Amino acid sequence: MAKTLVGWLAISKEPSLILAQYRELKRQVPLLYTLLILNASAVTYTHFAYAPVWVTVGFLGALIATCGWRIICWLRAPEAHAVTVEAARAQLVSTTILAGILGAVFLVWSMLMNQYGGVEQQAHVALFIAATVIGCIFCLYNLPSAAMLVTAIVTVPYLLYYLWRGDPVFTAMALNIALVTGVMVRVLLNGFGAFTNMIRSKAELVCKQEETQRLSADNAHLAHTDMLTGLPNRRFFFNRFEQWLQDARRENGRMAVGVLDLDRFKAINDTYGHAWGDRLLVEVGARLDSFASERVSLARLGGDEFGVLFADPIGDVRSAGQAMCDALSRPFVIEGQTISIGCSAGIATYPDAGSAVHELFDRSDYAAYHMKMNERGGCALFSFEHENIIRSERAVETALLAADLDRELHVCYQPILCTHSCDVLSVEALGRWTSPSLGPVPPDRFIVAAEKLNIIHDITIALFRKALREFGAMPPSIRLSFNLSAKDITSPETLRQLMDLIEEGGIDPKRITFELTETALMRDFHAAVRGIQSLRALGARFALDDFGVGYSSLGHLRRLPFDKVKLDRSFVENMEESFGRNIFSGILALCRTLELDCVAEGVETEAQLAWVTNLGCQRVQGYFFAKPMPALELAAWFLARTTSPTPAVVSRYGL
């Protein structure tokens, strides 16, 4: 009980409670002083004729001055949200002390007034005391220490005074006042308890809200962050893209979006393992992050693809993108190993390249893809040239979707010869498509389109069926080379149908060589290996096509069950230069070590043939001997060869 009383009398130390008390008092205390002035004026009025002027008007004047000053102080005091806890507490303490002093002063004044006038005036003093104390209790409702101090200081001595005087009516009135104020104090304490609880639960609620807000901010951060690199993720990227594009539209400004695609990452990932690849991506993320600023936002879009946004770019965004590519082409050192990758990038600017998010993104992606295909390590700005290419790609795609494959596709064959005997060892089947609307479409274009449209399976199967049928009529000494695309070698359905067709055609699988490029392997290395093994199990052979233009060649050559390597045309093109010949002979030596046959592609001139032969390459293919031709033409070519060999071959080899 005593402890509770001390608790009520003491000024709280809880910041939220102190501030809440301060806020309430700031509203109530000026009213309390007004009430004191009114009550004191009323008593002054009724006692004016009886008491000396200094007791009535003199006191009232002093009281008005003091209360007026306090009212001004409270009105000018800072609002609760702007006051410090210390200042608010100091105000509560001074209010309590002042309440005690004023209570004592009022008591003394009331006792003094009681000396003057008759019974009616004394009754007014009793009323004055009751009204003032009750008013105080109400107005100091939020500061029980002050309310109780005033009640105790005023009512107790007043009661004692009348008890001492022995006047039964006034004693009864004093007792009445004391009891009523006692009850009021109890009510006040109950109310203050509820007020305290409310403030505490409010403070708890605020704490919980802050915690929830912090958690949801954490969640939002996680939802927008790429866990591996710590860069913003795809979701963040597209949200910000939308936002910056809207800003640019509203302000008639500009913005740019870029796609950065790592070169050779998949091969490295396959060669060194995923954990190692992840470490590399973390390093890549850190390098890219150094370009981020308020106006340049970088994100990982997935896999080895990153995105960049430029808000209101004033400078040359292509150079900025190129700087990022250059930064990524510097070697990385991971676990003591130095590795070099590269990065190709494409950028599309608003409003030049488009006006919608998906349009701009697709175009930057296309520019990056175009760069990757043509000039790795560079950054391209989406241009009208790209636009035209896209248009014609769309036309190819549309025509391909409507194509009657059996009628429109056919196969051409290009012989592969032995440099020593000049015998035809095999023929490479090359797909041809003549679209009724577009005319002949080169295979590298329709194959890419078919892969994109996911109809490559149908094309491969249609071409293979035709090739096998025609191959059946060719000399039994020669073999057939057939190109497979990346998706074919990883598709169990395509593999199964290829096997069925070989079986149905009654062709010995050992006479068939499938050609695959490195890019085909890199898409899904492990699935490609499984595909190769399943066809090899039948007896078919495999050649690594376009060898030398990929980047992970050595790793793949060692690890994959290839029988043959086809050296890219670019090697033969560089044959005139000594460095070209050195590289060529180096690769030949490597293939010999790995016991792989080598075919030199793209032999166009006699000089090239001489170099290739002198360097020790035993198999050649190229326009010098024959261009790819339909089966009928090939049959005529075979016939012409046996009756009269080509003059060039005759002169070179003395046939």
Of the candidate residues 362, 408, 515, 518, the single one contacting Ca ion (CB under 5 A) = 515
Q: What is the nearest approach in angstroms of Ca ion to the Cβ of residue 316?
A: 38
- Strands 439-441 and 512-517: what pairing? unpaired
| Cα-based distances in Å from 146 to 28, 32, 89, 156, 636 | 13, 12, 13, 15, 120
DSSP secondary structure of 66-101: HHHHHHHHHHHSPPGGGS-HHHHHHHHHHHHHHHHH
**Collapsing DSSP states into helix, strand and coil, what is residue 299?**
strand
Of 215 and 648, which CB lies nearer to ligand C2E in the complex structure?
648
552 binds ligand C2E (CB under 6 A): no
444 binds ligand C2E (CB under 6 A): yes
Instruction: Give which of 296, 318, 289, 293 is closest to 241, Cα–Cα.
Output: 296
Q: Which two tokens stand for residue 391?
A: 């248009």
Size of the site for ligand C2E (CB under 6 A): 22
Instruction: Determine the Cα–Cα distance for residues 596 and 564; give it in Å rounded to an integer.
Output: 5
Size of the site for Ca ion (CB under 5 A): 5
Of 144 and 622, which CB lies nearer to ligand C2E in the complex structure?
622
Of the candidate residues 467, 545, 602, 609, the single one contacting Ca ion (CB under 5 A) = 545
Of 117 and 622, which CB lies nearer to Ca ion in the complex structure?
622
Q: What is the nearest approach in angstroms of ligand C2E to the Cβ of residue 482?
A: 7
User: Quick one: what does residue 595 bind among Ca ion, ligand C2E, none, with the CB cut-off 5 to 8 Å set by partner type?
Assistant: none
Of the candidate residues 263, 365, 546, 597, the single one contacting ligand C2E (CB under 6 A) = 546
Of 321 and 628, which CB lies nearer to ligand C2E in the complex structure?
628
Q: Which of residues 223-262 bind Ca ion (CB under 5 A)?
A: none
Sequence-distant (≥ 6) Cβ neighbours of residue 477 within 8 angstroms: 423
Q: What is the nearest approach in angstroms of Ca ion to the Cβ of residue 391?
A: 28
User: Quick one: what does residue 602 bind among ligand C2E, Ca ion, none, with the CB cut-off 5 to 8 Å set by partner type?
Assistant: ligand C2E
Instruction: Give which of 596, 522, 574 is closest to 552, Cα–Cα.
Output: 522
Q: Which stretch binds Ca ion (CB under 5 A): 21-29, 83-91, 163-171, 595-603?
A: 595-603
Q: Which stretch binds ligand C2E (CB under 6 A): 28-36, 143-151, 193-201, 439-447?
A: 439-447
Q: Which stretch binds ligand C2E (CB under 6 A): 142-150, 191-199, 384-392, 441-449?
A: 441-449
Tell the residue number behind the tokens 């209360």, with chain if given. Answer: 67
512 binds ligand C2E (CB under 6 A): no
Instruction: Give which of 230, 255, 231 is closest to 309, Cα–Cα.
Output: 255
Q: Which of residues 587-606 bind ligand C2E (CB under 6 A)?
A: 602-604
The DSSP code for 11 is: P
Binding mask 460-489 for ligand C2E (x = CB under 6 A): ---x-------------------xxx----
Instruction: Determine the Cα–Cα distance for residues 87 and 556; give it in Å rounded to an integer.
Output: 77
Binding mask 92-121 for Ca ion (x = CB under 5 A): ------------------------------
Helix axes 274-289, 317-329, angle to 10 degrees: 140
Instruction: Determine the Cα–Cα distance for residues 600 and 236; give it in Å rounded to an integer.
Output: 49
Q: Which stretch binds ligand C2E (CB under 6 A): 287-295, 390-398, 495-503, 615-623?
A: 615-623
Instruction: Give which of 386, 341, 391, 385 is closest to 364, Cα–Cα.
Output: 386
What are the start-end ranges of the E strands in 214-303? 255-263, 296-302
Binding site for Ca ion (CB under 5 A): 483, 515, 545-546, 601
